[in-house]
Chains A and B, each alone.
Chain A
Amino acid sequence: MNFPVLSVIVFTPMAAAVLMLLMPAERRNETRSIALAAATFALILSGWVYYQYLVNHMAGYQFVEEYNWLPALGMKLIFGVDGMSAPLVLLTGIVMFTGVLISWGIDDEHAPTGIQDRPREFFAFLFILASGVFGVFASLDLFMLFFFYEIAVFPMYLLIAIWGWVKTREYAAMKLTLYLFVGSVVALVGALAMYFKAGFDSFDMRLLEQANFPVDFQIGWFLPVFLGFAVLGGIWPFHNWSPDGHVAAPTAVSMFHAGVLMKLGAFAALRVGIMLLPEGAKYWSWLIMTFAAVAVVYGAYIAFVQTDFKYMVGFSSVSHMGLVMLGFSTLNRQGLLGSGVQMFSHGVMTALFFAVVGMVYDRAHTREIPELGGMGKILPFASIGFIIGGLVSMGMPGFSGFIAEFPIFLGVWGRQWLVAVVASVSIVITAAYIMRNIRMVFFGNMPEKFEGHISALTALDKVAIVTLCAFMIGIGLFPSLMVPMVQTGVDNILRLLGGA
């Protein structure tokens, strides 16, 4: 038996959470150290899984572990990753690590940073969330996927309602949780339908993939299952919980939320919706494509008119996740490949965006773009980070966003050229708002009221920014660091789709 690396990754955050809750509340720095240690450990392990998968040219489900959980009902705990999920496991590790870094919190009366209020509980809930996310990406059992999915959603409610932005946190937490629960309940019904229809007495997705459900059944259940999960992916027109949720959440939670949780929705929609019900996917792809194309353009446009820094980033996520869905809807090689890379690329990029927004907000106590200015002089690292993130976001060649978006567009060309033309408008809109924002927030003159109130970044903040940027530039310059791996995942999906 090999080292059970995936279950260690999944349960490390959970164990750390328990450990932290056992610590006395006043031992704040010790609690934080546990959090950082656990996050680093999880990052290293997920990086190791990624590295092994890449250099050994693996394909299919690897690192598989199976444990009986409730054998009577055919529920097993099965972990395993393929070319689609391994990058997402790594992404979760990265976001978790950087999220801990930027919410570290230095207990300084004059320049408090990070999380000051009950860090012990904050990190504990954040880590339970992280366990859930790792679990979804690694699960090969449909029931377990749901199990971890709900584990990931619930702490979000507490994290936003307790540590969120005072003005909207209760509203946003409620809205988010209700939206996601409704979505997942609908999807769960679909999953149960699949379980009974298949009649294997098993939730093992590797078996369900082979179930060959009748075409009518697939067409009937595809939409509930796909859309139920895609709600969490921020698909238009069910996206509207997401900007509110992003804005109300504390920085690290926004990073998790936009960086990883939205991928969770998209990934589950792909794995359960498209991979288990391929005929349904073919039948409905035009509808998904329409939704996605609207999200891409409309999200970019709404982001363009925001004056709140964080809302702007929030809506830009809607636009970029629209691209992921757009790639799914093509059901062809390039489109799916692009989506796989885009999930990772957008995750890293948006985590960086929210981290920078948080750094600015912590210091300026406002997010109104017109009121900010000149931050680049005091926060050079934050501004370089935001610029690089911005370039990724507008799909600038040389960064990971281009590597992801270009094949998506190629895929769309293969299906419906008009959608490619319409969606490409978003690139210019994105460039316009990103550039305007960079100029208004980071350059120009700093308003007088901020003089002397803006403290420099901590070393931990800088480490977080550099880590995130390194991944975006690395993949942008050397696509072979990720693309071959995602391709193996795509091959599997295409096989299920009948080589379409």
Chain B
Amino acid sequence: MDFINSHLLSLILFLPTVAALVIFFLPKDEVKLIRWTAFAASLIPFALSVVVWVNFKSDASGFQFEENYPWYDAIRSSVHLGVDGLSLTMVVLTTLLTPLAILASFSITDRVKPYMMLFLMLETGMLGVFMALDLLIFFVFWEIGLVPMYFLINQWGSANRNYASLKFMIYTMGGSLGLLLGIQLLGVLFKTFDLQTIVQGWTSLSSSETFGQTFFTIGQVKAVAFWAFVIAFAIKVPVWPFHTWLPDAHTEAPTAGSMILAGVLLKLGAYGFLRLVLPLYPEQAQFYAGALAFLAVAAIVFGAFASYGQTDFKRLVAYSSVNHMGFVLLGIAAAAKASGTLDATIALNGAVLQMFNHGLSAAGMFFLVGVIYERTHTRNLNEFGGLFPLVPVYGGILIFTSMASLGLPGLNGFISEFLVVRGSWPILTVYTAVAMLGLLFTGAYILKGIKSVLHGPLNEHWAHGEHKLTEINTREILVMAPLMALILVTGVWPAWILDVINKAMVMLF
């Protein structure tokens, strides 16, 4: 018991990989056994992260449940793990979505064994980013997560998967090049990769001095490094104009892959902003806050427009992620501009809660698209229509989840978007006003999606014979139930999570 208590984070982090190894030794024809092993194994990290959540002291400052193991002594990098309110929220989101995504993947019949192994390894990669307190380890997990995702898209995706997976890989790797170089620069300067040491040392360097033996000032170097970090994370979020990999990757990925991609992977980028960019570059972030806000608003507005223009259901949902993640960045930009004020804290609260909320609703939406795609083998909105009477339960769930995404008061999306807007308004009034217009189109594209699928004249093709549409089944409802419950609970009583987030934000910034 003591062992478990003192190694909670590393257990959460590495159990999925251990499970993947166990699955490697199962016979590949025992599909059922593999599925259930993967599912059961992914529940353990979830249970453990609930334990962490319960025992987490939100009033204490700094990181909790810290663990530190030597790894690469020669360059002073160690496996240093720890969570605060921000990362814990993301850890819980990840460990919650992974079992649901695995449950959603029970319909996969092609090469189940490698699929489940990749999925579990993906979980380790994502969790590592959220837990890392060492810059090199952060980067290690950041990159490791790419590989399973690439293969999930490339092997289990739909028609255009080769193009989409390569684009995903190259975009992200190209983006993280700047991050890699920036991390190397910091590592050379401070001879360590420990995050807290680097943050202290780096921010205390005076911007006007010259940098080493070069003719640059430290301020100039910081500005370049700032943009290197920003671009790496902006690609992952994704922020307009770096978002073009996302619709392709989402559309081609298998359903569970899209769930995780939208639910967790996009959050990695936003998390990078909060964990690294703002603490490391407070001055630069303040100086360039306008530019960040511009990108955020562009993502909100263009994301909404692009989403409205889609005829492919999955692409519609994919662009909606660009739209929603724009609010996260808007909140971050506002916080960067007026760091330390009450408005900034409110905006940050909204941004982090929006990350969590979008994780729930986007995962749900992608799953629902997957449910109907599996039955009809089309995602073309023009080929649906009037399906509500055929599948009333599915229709109800779809409307519920869509409304969460739209920001209906009483559901979670409203709380977080309201907080972002409330916090940003006094700081970045014009940008926030334009973003509100984008919100209008959010309503438009979501209603368009619901209308095209559920309402209007019934497409008779799906009503009879071999194409007759079947209702959502129990397993699929089980995937949606936890998501819907959390959507509702967070909408009605957001304090359960905002308390933790708020204290972390107050302490961090």
Contacts and interface: CB of A to CB of B under 8 A. Distances in A.
B225 to A, nearest CB: 11
Contact of A396 (B70, B136, B147, B187): B147
B74 A431 contact: no
Given A391-B147, A439-B162, A487 B74 contact: yes
B84 to A, nearest CB: 24
B184 interface: yes
A74 interface: no
A403 B72 contact: yes
Contacts of B154: 439, 443
B174 A428 contact: yes
Contact of A484 (B71, B73, B166): B73
Contacts of B144: 396-398
Interface string B319-350: 00000000000000000000000000000000
B177 interface: yes
Contacts of A168: none
B185 interface: yes
B170 interface: yes
Interface in B128-182: 136, 139-141, 143-144, 147, 150, 154-155, 162, 166, 169-170, 173-174, 177, 180-181
Contacts of A424: 177, 180-181
A147 interface: no
Given A417-B185, A435-B166, A427 B177 contact: yes
A402 B74 contact: no
A98 to B, nearest CB: 22
A398 B139 CA distance: 11
Contacts of A432: 166, 170
Interface in B51-79: 70-75
A407 B74 contact: yes
Nearest to A418: B214
A118 interface: no
B188 interface: yes
Given A443-B155, A480-B70, A483-B73, A428 B143 contact: no
B181 A421 contact: yes
A409 interface: yes
A484 B170 CA distance: 34
B162 A428 contact: no
Interface in A66-111: none
B143 A397 contact: yes
Interface string A158-193: 000000000000000000000000000000000000
Interface string A402-417: 1100110110011001
A286 to B, nearest CB: 15
Most chain B beta-carbon neighbours within 10 Å: one of A398, A483, A484: A398
A397 B140 contact: yes
Interface string A469-500: 00000000001100110010000000000000
Nearest to A478: B71
A431 B170 contact: yes
A483 B185 contact: no
A337 interface: yes
Contacts of A427: 173, 177, 180
B139 A397 contact: yes
A413 B184 contact: yes
A436 interface: yes
B75 A334 contact: yes
A497 to B, nearest CB: 18
Nearest to B136: A406
Contacts of A457: none
Interface in B273-313: none
A398 B141 CA distance: 9
Given A402-B140, A428-B173, A483-B73, A435 B184 contact: no
A420 interface: yes
Interface string B380-422: 0000000000000000000000000000000000000000000
A413 B212 CA distance: 11
B166 A410 contact: no
A344 to B, nearest CB: 15
A80 to B, nearest CB: 23
A414 B187 CA distance: 10
Nearest to A439: B162
A484 B184 contact: no
A406 B187 CA distance: 10
A420 B140 contact: no
A83 to B, nearest CB: 12
Contacts of A407: 74-75
Interface string B68-94: 001111110000000000000000000
B184 A410 contact: yes
Given A410-B75, A479-B74, 18 more contacts: A391-B147, A397-B139, A397-B141, A398-B140, A398-B144, A403-B72, A413-B185, A420-B184, A427-B180, A428-B170, A428-B177, A432-B170, A435-B166, A439-B166, A443-B154, A480-B70, A480-B72, A483-B72
30 contacts: A334-B74, A397-B143, A397-B144, A398-B140, A402-B140, A406-B75, A406-B136, A406-B184, A407-B74, A407-B75, A409-B180, A414-B188, A417-B185, A417-B214, A420-B184, A424-B177, A425-B177, A427-B180, A428-B173, A428-B174, A431-B170, A432-B166, A432-B170, A436-B166, A443-B154, A479-B71, A479-B74, A480-B73, A483-B74, A484-B74
Top 6 A-B pairs, shortest CB-CB distance:
A397-B140, A413-B188, A479-B72, A483-B74, A397-B143, A431-B173
